[in-house]
């Protein structure tokens, strides 16, 4: 649709209203009389999403146009909001149009709209400040049946990227879009690599006057449902990647000089190096001491405004302010380590997509974090100076695992594989329960937790942040949500073994009114799992396409010991196993008054094959019903003890039949030792 370009108008520093650039192709789009119902969501049908990139000028220009057909008032509220976010340190934005089209008549608001200028630090709670600014305008009159069309261009790029272009464009969204267009124009002298994923359309190309014009388009591509619990690095939808970087070596060469600091080190840093050198006689001890210093003596704060997002500050600035982000801390660690004769360098990683990096085109913009690569005695360590509490020796410290990293040192030409974490015992709990002879007697319940490795470090971090009192109070509140009249007898951190990297926490409670009286006149008491249940999320039913993400590999073990006044018999052992997952559950009667249940969950890898989805579902189901539930009858205020005759009356297959009946009777609340059912089954 032809239109008269609005005159220029300043909005804010780095933002203005301006005509559509001459290089943009405003090809018309279809406006149906009635929206396709398959493409309506939240009162809007997106008719057009049009992205056009120009690399022929002195800086990159990225034009975007969108057209929304409003189908309901809820959509009008959303479509009436226009906003663009940019970093004024290296970007500027031009608004070309904000229009409402009603009955074929176009009303343009770009010139008259009131623009608010907002600085909203989206990651402020994570101590990350990026300086990005949002310009926002609200259209005064939008109704059902209107088409809202917006257009703007974003210009500029960070100097640290040396003018190289890189982009990752998705073609599938949760909501379907009727017409999706993408275009890129660049001089024939610039080589832009491209790669498509998951059935993205191949581009078409024309060349005229030394300019390559490439275009991609999809029409009536319906919204896709992302499969939950897939590994975060899996690209589930169609996508297009563009990159001007030829190889990973170019990215390493571009960023390595930014981390060098050949000038004299600050006096305070020199003093700390001298102190560590005198106190630590081994290379591993020195590396661990430097890690503790960069983690604890330099607080975390990221000023990612402009070039700060990609370029570390000088060591003098880091020392003077005593704060820094991942780049600053890794740079400081590296310089200190080298002064003490250690082989260290910064390394760029991607915390989400790291395992997929070799499948992508090389690009310096694929990284979102910086860590340290340390080579020592033939072994490579990947260390994160931004973590807060890792006081253990170097060989016990939890290392980073992001799949692949890019070391920043001279001569690097490729990514380097980071080792996956070795499965180890992460958390084990011993539960001790003493049940009285009457339902009015308080239940004595103790937990002894042993946190290891990454779980111990996480607990230390939490204690350092909130204090031990607050952490233990949270634990007691968790217990009291199950038993409101649980009284704390003792809570303490028994051991914090830094050398072996484990922590032991002891909790003891007297639980009053622990037994629940059912409508059937019987009393029920169940154990309470604090460590295994909830480790894994539920998986939707149906066939599975992508692998299932398990998270941190490791083992969780639980032992429950129950001493009772009544007598019991029987037992069970169940095991569900897959290639990377196993849940084992065993209950034994040590003597008629002493029951022991052992459970363990083993996660042996980061992900489980999609073909084993049913195994995963079975494990989750067991985790949700993994409590030991005891059901007792009482007479004259005391529990009824089973006689010796009844104790020996049921065993084998008949025992398991009764257990199954009990599970159905209580709605699958847990593995059950159902005394009432046993008595009924044995009755003459």
Tokens in use for 534? 């909830």
For residue 14, the model assigns a pLDDT of 84
| Packed helices 652-665 and 675-682: angle between N→C axes, nearest 10 degrees | 130
Rounded to whole angstroms, how far apart are CA atoms 168 and 195? Answer: 10
Q: For 213-217, 272-276, 321-325, which range has the lowest pLDDT when averaged over its residues?
A: 321-325
Specify whether the CB–CB gap between 558 and 529 falls below 8 A.
yes
Domains and CATH numbers, the chain: 9-229 (2.60.40.3140), 252-417 (3.10.620.30), 449-513 (no CATH), 515-684 (2.60.120)
| pTM for the structure as a whole | 0.86
Closest CA to 215 of 246, 252, 259, 181: 181
By DSSP bridging, strand 91-102 and strand 15-17 are parallel
Please state which of the ranges 23-27, 62-66, 159-163, 391-395 shows the lowest mean pLDDT.
Answer: 159-163
Distances (CA, A) of 93 to 124, 154, 662: 24, 5, 67
Cβ–Cβ < 8 Å for 317, 325: no
Question: Which is it for the CA torsion 657, 662, 665, 667, positive or negative?
Answer: negative
| pLDDT on residue 74 | 87
pLDDT greater than 50 at residue 684: no
Q: What is the pLDDT of residues 531-545, one digit of tens each?
A: 998 899 999 999 999
Q: Binning pLDDT at 50, 70 and 90, where does residue 367 land?
A: very high
Confidence band (pLDDT; 50, 70, 90) for 159? Answer: confident
Q: What is the pLDDT of residue 673?
A: 35
Position 165 scores a pLDDT of 93
Q: What is the pLDDT of residue 648?
A: 29
């Amino acid at each position: 649709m032809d239109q008269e370009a609005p005159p220029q108008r300043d909005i804010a520093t780095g933002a203005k209203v301006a005509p559509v650039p001459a290089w943009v192709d405003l090809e018309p789009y279809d406006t149906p009389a009635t929206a396709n119902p398959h493409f309506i969501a939240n009162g809007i049908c997106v008719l057009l999403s049009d992205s056009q990139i120009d690399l022929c000028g002195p800086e990159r220009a990225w034009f975007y146009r969108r057209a929304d057909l409003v189908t309901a008032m809820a959509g009008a509220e959303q479509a009436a909001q226009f906003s663009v976010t940019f970093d004024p340190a290296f970007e500027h934005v031009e608004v070309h149009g904000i229009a409402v089209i009603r009955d074929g008549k176009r009303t343009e608001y770009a010139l008259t709209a009131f623009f608010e200028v907002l600085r909203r630090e989206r990651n402020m709670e994570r101590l990350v400040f990026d300086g990005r600014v949002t310009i926002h305008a609200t259209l005064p009159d939008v109704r059902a049946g209107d088409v809202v069309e917006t257009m703007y261009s974003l210009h500029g790029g960070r100097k640290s990227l040396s003018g190289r272009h890189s982009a990752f464009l998705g073609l599938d969204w949760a909501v379907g879009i009727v017409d999706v267009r993408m275009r890129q124009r660049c001089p024939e002298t610039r080589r832009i690599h491209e790669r498509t994923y998951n059935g993205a359309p191949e581009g078409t190309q024309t060349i005229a006057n030394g300019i390559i014009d490439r275009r991609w388009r999809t029409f009536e591509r319906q919204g896709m449902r992302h499969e939950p619990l897939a590994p975060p690095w899996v690209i589930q939808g169609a996508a297009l990647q563009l990159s001007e970087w030829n190889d990973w070596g170019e990215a390493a060469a571009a960023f390595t000089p930014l981390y060098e600091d050949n000038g004299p080190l600050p006096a305070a840093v020199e003093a700390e190096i001298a102190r560590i050198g005198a106190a630590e006689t081994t290379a591993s001890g020195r590396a661990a001491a430097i890690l503790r210093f960069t983690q604890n003596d330099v607080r975390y704060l990221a000023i990612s405004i402009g070039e700060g997002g990609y370029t570390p500050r000088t060591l003098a600035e880091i020392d003077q302010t005593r704060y820094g982000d991942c780049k600053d801390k890794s740079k400081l660690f590296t310089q200190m380590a080298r002064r003490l004769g250690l082989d260290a360098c910064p390394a760029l990683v991607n915390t989400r997509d790291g395992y997929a990096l070799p499948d992508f085109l090389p690009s310096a913009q694929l990284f979102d974090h910086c860590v340290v690569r340390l080579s020592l005695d033939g072994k490579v360590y990947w260390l994160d100076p931004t973590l807060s509490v890792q006081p253990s020796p170097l060989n016990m410290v939890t290392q980073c695992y992001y799949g692949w990293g890019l070391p920043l040192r001279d001569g690097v030409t490729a990514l380097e594989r980071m080792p996956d974490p070795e499965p180890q015992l992460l958390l084990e709990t011993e539960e001790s329960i003493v049940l009285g002879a009457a339902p009015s007697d308080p239940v004595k319940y103790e937990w002894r937790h042993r946190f290891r490795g990454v779980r111990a470090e996480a607990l230390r971090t939490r204690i350092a942040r909130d204090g031990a009192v607050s952490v233990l109070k949270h634990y007691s509140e968790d217990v009291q949500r199950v038993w409101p009249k649980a009284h704390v007898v003792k809570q303490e951190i028994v051991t914090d073994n830094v050398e072996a990297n484990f922590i032991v926490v002891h909790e003891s409670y007297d639980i009053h009114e622990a037994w629940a009286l059912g409508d059937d006149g019987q009393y029920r008491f169940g154990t309470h799992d604090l460590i295994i249940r909830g480790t894994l999320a539920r998986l939707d039913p149906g066939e599975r396409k992508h692998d299932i993400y398990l998270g941190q590999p490791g083992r969780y073990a639980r032992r429950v010991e129950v001493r009772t006044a009544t007598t019991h018999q029987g037992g069970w052992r169940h095991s569900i196993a897959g290639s990377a997952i196993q849940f084992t559950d065993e209950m034994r009667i040590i003597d008629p008054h002493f029951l022991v249940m052992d459970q363990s969950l083993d996660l042996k890898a980061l992900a489980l094959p999609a073909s084993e989805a049913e195994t995963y579902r079975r494990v989750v189901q067991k985790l949700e019903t993994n409590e030991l539930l005891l059901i007792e009858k009482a007479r004259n205020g005391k529990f009824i003890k089973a006689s010796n005759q009844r104790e020996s009356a049921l065993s084998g297959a008949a025992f398991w039949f009764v257990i199954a009946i009990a599970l159905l009777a209580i709605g699958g609340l847990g593995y059950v030792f159902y005394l009432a059912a046993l008595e009924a089954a044995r009755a003459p």
